[in-house]
Structure 1
Amino acid sequence: MERLRRKLEHSAFGVCAWLGDKMGIQRSRVRIYFIYLSCLSLGSSLLFYFFIAFWLNIREYLREGRRQIGL
């Protein structure tokens, strides 16, 4: 159950964690701002979130592929 929770948090909140680390602010604060922004913009910030999530997954996939080629 704990492993499922970690995987879900990594998948669902990975973008906010990455953005918070890049900006140097708390992850929880980024999540709260994102929720407020989603409510104010009627959900259009979800497109931004999905784009960043897709980009982070592609980067991880490419890095993993490079490691396998180097072996």
Structure 2
Amino acid sequence: MNLFYRILLYFQKHGYYVCQRIADRLGIRAKVVRTSFMYLTFVTLGFGFALYLFIAFWMHIKDLLYTKRSSVFDL
């Protein structure tokens, strides 16, 4: 079980924080979004996981292309 917790900790530290970002945008708790993805994955036999990976990829690309500038002088 120790290996399982190390892997879980790695993904929690280095993940894309997809659920957290979706929850912040919708104004709900991240736990609700995570459980929704888990239920969706079990019910649809993997579609929820595929959706999660697609959203993670899309957010990563968006972050690479769009940078937030704090002032006009950052151009």
Q: Do both proteins adopt the same fold according to a TM-score greater than 0.5, normalized to the shorter chain? A: yes
Counterpart in the other structure of 1:60: 63
Residue 30 of structure 1 deviates from its aligned partner by: 0.8
Change (3 A) 1:49 1:11: farther
Match of 2:24 among 21, 26, 34: 21
- Structure having the higher helix fraction is 1
- Paired letter, 1:23: L
Gaps of 5+ in 2: 1-8, 70-74
Counterpart in the other structure of 1:44: 47
Count of matched residue positions in the alignment of Structure 1 and Structure 2: 63
Superposed CA RMSD:
2.5
Residue 9 of structure 1 deviates from its aligned partner by: 2.4
Residue 54 of structure 1 deviates from its aligned partner by: 0.6
TM-score (norm 1): 0.69
TM-score (norm 2): 0.66
Percent of aligned pairs sharing the same letter? 34
Question: How far apart are the structure 1 equivalents of 2:30 and 2:51?
Answer: 17
